[in-house]
Structure 1
Amino acid sequence: MIGLDAIDAVTTLFSFAVVLWNIGGVFSFDWHGHHFHIPGYLFLGAVITTLTASGILERFGSPLIGANYRQQHFDADLRAGLMDIRRNSEQIAFYGGEDAEHLRLSGYLTHIATNWRSVVRYTWRVNFIAEIYTGIATVPLWLMLAPKAMAHALTFGLYSQINSAYTQVRISLEWFIFNYADMATLRSVLQRLGEFERTVSQQPETGIERFASEIPSVQIRDLTLCLPDTKPIARIGNLTLESGERWLLRGPSGSGKSTFLRALAGLWRHGSGAVSFNMRQAMFLPQRSYVPSGTLRQALSYPATPDRYETLSCQRVLEAVNLAGYSHRLDEIADWGDVLSPGEQQRLAVARALLFRPAILFLDEATSALDEDNERRLYEALLSALPGTTFISVAHRDALCRFHDHEIVLGDGNAVFSVLEK
């Protein structure tokens, strides 16, 4: 709507600017012995007057842009807080954290209310200036026509024509003034979108490089993991994971195990070195599985479309991961992230891997929520169904050693490679 009004204002301005220029005549005067002629002085006066008023409005009304920007920020904080509570309502209830959450949300609401008062104050200031200008907008025209009136060169008919043309030109030029509040909101939105676009379009920082490869092995060259402040976490060095090998990644908490997998996935760029593998045939199973809402078939097939796998295949993998009880509910719509327990969600993630049949499978404590029997059952299913797949598992339990033939131990900033004894 603002854009259409702007087009209409520009069209009206060009139409009546010519009329006002022609009928306004020339303003002539002498100054220190020099004679001056200003053609179209009424049009120029309207432009100068409006630009002056617009400058004053921008000077005193520009804080409205920042206030609108902050309002969007505080509104977003409140929405994010409410979503966080909804997502973690059960954990909050177990902790009895209602008072803490009430305090946190009250803080968000206080920020919104405080800033809203600023928005109202600056909006009132903008409207006050606009109304003052509207009240005195015809005064400059009377001042500019005073010489003609005193020279008895201003007839009633000429004044009517000049006033009509001047009013149309002034209204067209006042588009910025009367749309300033809406423009301030739009400018604040564009500012946030601009920041978002700059963040998204930023070139990846130099660091760990990833290269796509068609070979089945995972190649790691001179890999060093660092924190964002360049402090080293672990040095992996050179390593080749051949097709079909099963590697167990172990080490104390904070030694860089999950960071190592994030670096392989391209989610961690802090450090140096390079990794290459067949990324199209690789699959990552995080500790906390993502389960989208919709049908169970959609959740099981994710990230592929639900029509990619046959019903019989879906039922078989559910049975393999001890979720046979859900086989008849494949087309049932539900919020499966709430229906399934954490352990069931991890079993569902393994079922996805059995469907996808990746050449390389990364498991970041993907069975940590399971008991030993279910964990053993899942690894046996994976090894049986995917004998040629390369496995890299992050785990703490010694029971998983028997399902792997190599080990990487992270500690003291270095990686130690060894062959596991069966």
Structure 2
Amino acid sequence: MTTTSAAAPRPPSLWPTLKGVGAFAMPYFQSEEKWRARGLLLAVVLLNLGTVYMLVQINEWYRVFYDALQAKDQPVFWQQIGRFGWLALIYIVLAVYKFYLTQILQLRWRVWLTDHYMGRWLANKAFYRMELARYTADEHGTPDNPDQRIQEDLNLFTSYTVSLSMGMFNALITLVSFVGILWTLSGSISVPLPGFLGGGELEIVGYMVWAAVLYCAVGSAIAHWIGRPQVRLNFQQQMLEANFRHHMVRVREYSESIALDGGERVERRHLDVRFADVMSNYFSLIRNQKQLTWFSSFFSQAAIIFPMIVAAPRYFSGAIQLGQLMQINSAFGRVQDSLSWLVDNYMSLAVWKATTDRLIGFEKSLAHQSQTQDALTTTESAAGITAQDLTVGLPGGRALLAGVDLNVAPGDTVLLHGPSGSGKSSLFRALSGIWPHALGCVGLPKDTMFIPQRPYFPDGRLRDALAYPDPAEKYTDDALKAALEAALLPALTDQLDREDAWSQKLSGGERQRLAIARVMLKKPAWVLADEATSALDEEAEATVYQRLIDRVKQAGGALVSIAHRSTLATLHRTRWALKPNAATGADAARYRLDVSQD
């Protein structure tokens, strides 16, 4: 299967990943929930210790039970059956609560991290700046699909980090607990030396321990050699899956435009390419997992008989009894399981590392946004909308406007016009204080409201969409209905409690009028409107614009509009015209701003 997508970035090495885990873990265990978090962690650790202790007791039970079988000692046999029942019951209780509290720890950690990162992503308009940075050459540009990082990756990270760390801890404790038992039970074995080494015999003390170490070291090395591509493949898989899902979301978001353009075949082709990338990488991942499964299955099955083969000479020589043989087999299995932790968890480790690396990229981007100082200073102004020495640029760095001074006084009506691509919307964003590629100082009155080209309406009740971002309960039904009527939407006045996807339900003109109704509801004194009526007919546009002007003048403010239609010129007293700049040179702005008045 072929693919046309660009090569995915390679994941970082292991050390940055481990440092990233510490950066994600420490804030939670030092947060306002630190005592609950530390208590849960301590409980999980103690339960792990308890389960290992019970395994040690069960290992000792093997020796007594099988010795009783070999001696045909019926009283001891039934006594050990009863003892096993108690041991098994205690072990089950500990195992159940270990699982339960481990899941609770993972859940609470995910809740805290999700709340933490949603807050940072939405604070100081970082979500907006990160999206702009996606298409620049900035090395700190946003990672793909931040929504996936918060929703899916945080869940995977907390789940795998808790399970793998507790699994490793359990393996270490089990190893420490059983290696001494195995060393004691192993005794020693004499191995004849070849003639070129001087002949004779070499006595190996605790040879079963060395056999387990050698067996697992070789197995871990082979598993790493086979499975190491999985880190890269899992890293790419998550990214490609997210890109495929993101494009389907875009199709849903722009469903009407695509349907009107008849773009179904093009979108299907784009989706097919992205899905082909997903499947191509997934097949590579499956092939590697198949190879690793071949080896790990052979490794685990061989481990069943390997200790019996190694310990058999001592059993058949009469040096040990059947009970000791079974105890050696059990202890060897525990040691081998502990030393084989890497082999058994390699696939999970690959997913965990890929997920952690993606979150590290997300964290770096958020940290970069929080450390970035805005070159544009926004202050509260009582005199009106002002701009001093304002420079507006593109994300790539080229200046659209440079050194602009503006002033909008109470009672003004300003129309900003110019050719497409001249930076009207960029100037609008700079005046609103959200454009990161601007320099200078902007002053805004406290009572200012903006109408963007594409207003946002949350799904749900119409009253919530109208009042957004304020709570709908802040306004009376009479006020909501009056705002709709003022924006020429009387047909919606009886649908305030209707739930719908209003961005899809309403036509372009209705959406623009609903955005104006929002202004009529909140009654700001200062309004900046970016192509706010481009979908309306001239008569409706003139009506709602006149009501907007009357509204702001009544409140002692002003209106700044971006529009292409000449029909709006008669409603505005001041003109801001963007015209190509005659100056040339790499540092010269592409446009200049001419101000004129009627």
Q: Matched residues in 2 for 1:18 and 1:218: separation? A: 79
Q: Matched residues in 2 for 1:340 and 1:67: separation? A: 43
Q: CA deviation at 1:346?
A: 0.5
Q: Structure 1, residues 233-252: CA drift from partner, whole Å, max 9, x if none?
A: 12252333334433221211
Q: 1:202 to 1:243 in 2, by over 3 A?
A: farther
Residues 236-385 of structure 1 mapped to structure 2, 5 A cutoff: 236-278=403-445, 281-385=447-551
Give the counterpart letter for 2:486 in structure 1: A
Report which of the two has the higher share of strand. Answer: 1
CA contact (8 A) 1:248 1:394 kept: yes
Q: 1:264 to 1:174 in 2, by over 3 A?
A: farther
2:248 match: secondary structure: helix
Q: Structure 1, residues 209-266: CA drift from partner, whole Å, max 9, x if none?
A: 2334263533323221222332221225233333443322121111111011222334
Give the counterpart letter for 1:367 in structure 2: T
CA contact (8 A) 2:549 2:558 kept: no
Q: Who is 1:13 aligned against?
A: 175
Q: Matched residues in 1 for 2:390 and 2:209: separation? A: 70
1:221 counterpart = 2:388: yes
1:201 match: secondary structure: helix
Q: Matched residues in 2 for 1:240 and 1:52: separation? A: 76
Give the counterpart letter for 1:315 in structure 2: K
TM-score (ref. length: structure 1): 0.86
1:386 match: secondary structure: helix
Q: Matched residues in 2 for 1:266 and 1:47: separation? A: 64
Q: CA deviation at 1:51?
A: 4.0
Q: 1:122 to 1:399 in 2, by over 3 A?
A: same
CA contact (8 A) 1:218 1:275 kept: yes
Structure 2 unaligned spans of 5+? 1-98, 100-159, 582-589
Greater shift, 70-79 or 292-301, is seen at 70-79
1:240 match: secondary structure: strand
Give the counterpart letter for 1:418 in structure 2: V
Structure 1 unaligned spans of 5+? none
2:368 match: secondary structure: coil
1:211 counterpart = 2:371: no
Report which of the two has the higher share of helix. Answer: 2
Give the counterpart letter for 2:467 in structure 1: S
Q: Who is 1:107 aligned against?
A: 273
Residues 72-221 of structure 1 mapped to structure 2, 5 A cutoff: 72-137=238-303, 158-203=324-369, 205=372, 208-213=375-380, 215=382, 217-221=384-388
Q: 1:286 to 1:224 in 2, by over 3 A?
A: same
Q: Matched residues in 1 for 2:204 and 2:386: separation? A: 78
1:393 counterpart = 2:561: yes
1:408 match: secondary structure: strand
Q: 1:245 to 1:23 in 2, by over 3 A?
A: farther
Q: Matched residues in 2 for 1:154 and 1:186: separation? A: 44
Q: 1:220 to 1:160 in 2, by over 3 A?
A: same
Greater shift, 303-312 or 95-104, is seen at 95-104
2:510 match: secondary structure: helix
CA contact (8 A) 2:451 2:529 kept: yes
Q: CA deviation at 1:316?
A: 0.6
Give the counterpart letter for 1:240 in structure 2: N
Q: 1:259 to 1:172 in 2, by over 3 A?
A: same
Q: CA deviation at 1:342?
A: 0.5
Q: Structure 1, residues 309-356: CA drift from partner, whole Å, max 9, x if none?
A: 111001111111111111111111122222211011101101111222
1:420 counterpart = 2:597: yes
C-alpha RMSD of matched pairs (Å): 3.4
Q: Percent identity?
A: 33
CA contact (8 A) 1:216 1:359 kept: no
1:124 match: secondary structure: helix
Give the counterpart letter for 2:365 in structure 1: T
CA contact (8 A) 2:401 2:593 kept: no
Aligned with 1:64 (options 212, 226, 230): 230
Q: 1:314 to 1:160 in 2, by over 3 A?
A: same
Q: CA deviation at 1:372?
A: 1.6
Q: Matched residues in 1 for 2:297 and 2:459: separation? A: 52
CA contact (8 A) 2:525 2:551 kept: no
Give the counterpart letter for 2:593 in structure 1: V
CA contact (8 A) 1:313 1:355 kept: yes
Q: 1:11 to 1:367 in 2, by over 3 A?
A: same
Q: Matched residues in 2 for 1:201 and 1:166: separation? A: 48
Q: 1:248 to 1:173 in 2, by over 3 A?
A: same
CA contact (8 A) 1:9 1:173 kept: yes
1:283 match: secondary structure: strand
1:219 match: secondary structure: strand
Greater shift, 241-250 or 59-68, is seen at 241-250
Q: Matched residues in 1 for 2:521 and 2:378: separation? A: 26
**Number of positions where the alignment pairs a residue of Structure 1 with one of Structure 2:** 419
